[in-house]
């Protein structure tokens, strides 16, 4: 009897299983869960992309399957439920919604469903919303610097700690011949708030990073500032920007100096040329030899000419008596002004 009853119940069990599976497939529909991250205090639009049947009773947005956010019904204004009053808008004509000023308590699953007049339920969209606040500041501290032989060695070991308010992570870095590596590779840890804490090596910098999906903070230190021998033998990348800034300025100063010198010399040449051109020399005055006759003998040229005749220059001590000085008077005839 049990076997007959079991055989009779099996078709009904199979039918119930098929109906349950059909309802499950209908509930899933063509929509897929979309995961989004929102910064605390920001807004987020939840779109409905699927088509809604022409004849429907209402479209509901629910939060975590239990709380109704808003209900759309044909011919009436959308009904916003108390928890989201003043915090929801409708940016488009379809059934999309915009959630405003989201807080961490608003994190959850938001689902849009359409209810038809035939009693069917069809999902339209589903979003898993995670609201995150800004991460706390992070600090990178150096616990120890181990140089085997100070300046004479190319080896330097560093131990650092990357910490936040509630979490911390430590790591060791080894530098040999200006090549650095991190023991165990990049170190990471999840904090109690769901953020990630990372400490890693990038070029010649040790970086400590605290981040989530919407915000991040970091702190870093240059290895060359921690290992003296590394700084001496490794060109600091900070010098390159300094050179790149001052070199064009120096070139401009030199060009400006050459331009000023050229203009100055040109001005001097022009000034000298103008000076030569503007110089006025005195015109020599010619005096006429013609004079009116006068009876005054003082106006005539002297008629007496004296010539002193002396001995030939010789010995300073004369051997013979010096001859008497001889004067010759030359009579010069007076000029005739009548001829």
pLDDT digits (tens, 9 = 90+) for 6-25: 434 344 334 333 434 334 44
Are the C-beta atoms of 335 and 290 separated by less than 8 Å?
A: no
The mean pLDDT of 172-181, rounded to a whole number, is: 88
Reported as a single tens digit per residue, the pLDDT across 296-339 is 444 444 444 444 445 555 444 444 554 444 444 555 555 554 54
| Closest to 111 in 3D by CA, of 79, 69, 78, 81 | 69
Record the tokens describing residue 110, joined without a space.
């938001």
Bridge partners for 170 per DSSP: 161
Q: Measured between alpha carbons, how far is 226 from 275 in angstroms, rounded to an integer?
A: 69
The side-by-side arrangement of strands in the sheet containing 97-99 is 44-46, 97-99, 88-89
Are the C-beta atoms of 175 and 256 separated by less than 8 Å?
A: no
Return the percentage of the chain with pLDDT > 70, whole number.
65
Record the tokens describing residue 331, joined without a space.
């009579």
Instruction: State whether residue 49 is helix, strand or coil.
Output: coil
CA 223 from chain centre, in angstroms, equals: 23
Tell me the pLDDT band of 230, cut-offs 50, 70 and 90.
low
Instruction: State whether residue 63 is helix, strand or coil.
Output: strand
159 has pLDDT over 50: yes
Q: Measured between alpha carbons, how far is 277 from 261 in angstroms, rounded to an integer?
A: 25
Reported as a single tens digit per residue, the pLDDT across 205-228 is 999 999 999 999 999 999 888 887
Reported as a single tens digit per residue, the pLDDT across 271-294 is 777 666 665 555 555 554 444 444
Instruction: State whether residue 42 is helix, strand or coil.
Output: coil
Instruction: State whether residue 56 is helix, strand or coil.
Output: strand
Q: H or E segment at 20?
A: helix 2-28
Q: Measured between alpha carbons, how far is 104 from 212 in angstroms, rounded to an integer?
A: 14
Fold adopted by 25-132 = Immunoglobulin-like (2.60.40)
Tell me the pLDDT band of 245, cut-offs 50, 70 and 90.
confident
What are the backbone dihedrals phi and psi of residue 104, each rounded to the nearest 5 degrees, phi first? -60, -30
Give domain limits for the chain.
25-132, 139-236
């Amino acid at each position: 009897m049990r076997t007959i009853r079991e055989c009779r119940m099996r078709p009904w069990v199979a039918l119930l299983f098929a109906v349950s599976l059909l309802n499950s497939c209908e509930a899933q529909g063509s929509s897929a869960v979309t995961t989004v991250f929102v910064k605390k205090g920001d807004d987020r639009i939840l779109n409905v992309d699927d088509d809604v049947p022409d004849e429907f009773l209402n479209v509901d947005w629910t939060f975590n399957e239990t709380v109704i956010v808003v209900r759309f019904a044909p011919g009436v204004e959308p009904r916003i439920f108390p928890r989201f009053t003043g915090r929801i808008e409708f940016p488009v004509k379809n059934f999309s919604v915009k959630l405003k000023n989201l807080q961490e308590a608003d994190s959850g699953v938001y689902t849009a469903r359409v209810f038809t007049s035939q009693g069917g339920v069809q999902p339209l969209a589903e979003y898993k919303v995670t609201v995150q606040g800004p991460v706390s500041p992070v600090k990178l501290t150096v616990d120890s610097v181990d140089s085997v032989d100070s300046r004479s060695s190319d080896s330097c070991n560093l131990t650092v700690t990357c910490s936040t308010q509630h979490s911390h992570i430590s790591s060791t870095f080894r530098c040999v011949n200006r090549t650095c590596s991190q023991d165990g590779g990049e170190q990471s840890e999840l904090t109690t708030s769901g953020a990630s804490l990372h400490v890693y090596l990038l070029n010649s910098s040790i970086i400590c990073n605290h981040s989530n999906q919407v915000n991040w903070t970091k702190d870093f230190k240059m290895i060359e500032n921690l290992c003296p021998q590394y700084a001496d033998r490794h060109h600091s990348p900070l010098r390159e920007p300094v050179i790149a800034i001052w070199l064009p300025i120096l070139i401009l100063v030199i060009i400006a100096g050459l331009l000023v010198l050229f203009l100055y010399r040109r001005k001097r040449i022009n000034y000298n040329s103008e000076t030569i051109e503007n110089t006025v020399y005195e015109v020599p005055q010619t005096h006429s030899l013609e004079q009116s006759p006068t009876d005054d003998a003082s106006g005539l040229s002297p008629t007496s000419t004296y010539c002193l005749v002396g001995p030939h220059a010789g010995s300073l001590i004369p051997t013979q008596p010096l001859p008497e000085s001889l004067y010759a008077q030359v009579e010069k005839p007076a000029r005739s002004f009548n001829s």
